[in-house]
């Protein structure tokens, strides 16, 4: 039994240590994955934004539920920007691969700002959500302006 557990842990460790692109059989799979992750992220961010901007009534429960999804999904697309995913059905600009450090910084900034939105939504106060939302929206816009073709 000990050997089986050891092998299982070794396999799990190897899987987690494998570079992100190894998750995808083909570059087009990675592109599809990241596009879908970004779409889901935008849907939940948009729902929070509608509350933050007063376009829909603030509902603490709905805000917290959307924030939980946003928190998880905001971590997903970045592994899918690997080698070979700059061609095909994508609006990703070549700058992503030319300025990788800048792109990674933008992704990190966005995730830091999303964490503030998530904390505000979970706190259940509309004013906190409104205050946090602007920073996250700005981080998203910055990344789109620099790394996404229209």
Selection from 78, 135, 69 nearest residue 103 by Cα? 78
Alpha-carbon gap, residue 140 to 145, rounded angstroms = 9
Instruction: Give how many domains the chain has, as a whole number.
Output: 1
> For residue 64, what are the domain limits?
26-147
Residue 117 burial (CB < 10 Å; 0-12/13-18/19+)?
buried
For residue 13, being part of any structural domain is answered with no
Note whether residue 10 is domain-resident: no
Residue 136 covered by a domain: yes
Domain annotation covers residue 1: no
Report the predicted TM-score, pTM, of the whole model to 2 decimal places. 0.82
Q: Burial level of 131, CB count in 10 A (0-12/13-18/19+)?
A: middle
Residues 82, 19: contact at Cβ < 8 Å?
Answer: yes
* CATH value at residue 113: 1.20.120.10
Instruction: Give the dihedral sign, CA 37/135/52/119.
Output: positive
Per-residue pLDDT of the chain (150 residues; tens, 9 = 90+): 555 544 444 444 444 444 455 689 999 999 999 999 999 999 999 999 999 999 999 999 999 999 999 999 999 999 999 999 999 999 999 999 999 999 999 999 999 999 999 999 999 999 999 999 999 999 999 999 999 998
User: Domain for residue 16, yes or no?
Assistant: no
The DSSP call for residue 148 is B
Residue 120 lies in a domain: yes
Residue 143 lies in a domain: yes
User: Is residue 12 in some structural domain?
Assistant: no
């Amino acid at each position: 039994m000990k050997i089986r557990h050891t092998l299982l842990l070794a396999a799990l460790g190897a899987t987690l240590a494998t570079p992100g692109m190894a998750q995808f059989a083909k570059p087009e799979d990675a592109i599809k994955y990241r596009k879908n992750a970004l779409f889901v992220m935008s849907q939940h961010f948009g729902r929070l934004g509608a509350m933050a901007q007063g376009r829909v009534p603030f509902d603490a429960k709905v805000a917290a539920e959307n924030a939980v999804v946003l928190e998880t999904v905001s971590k997903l697309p970045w592994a899918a920007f690997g080698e070979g995913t700059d061609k095909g059905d994508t609006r990703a600009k070549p700058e992503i691969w030319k300025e990788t450090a800048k792109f990674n910084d933008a992704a990190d900034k966005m995730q830091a700002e999303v964490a503030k939105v998530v904390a505000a939504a979970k706190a259940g106060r509309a004013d906190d959500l409104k205050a946090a939302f602007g920073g996250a929206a700005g981080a998203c816009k910055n990344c789109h302006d620099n790394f996404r073709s229209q």
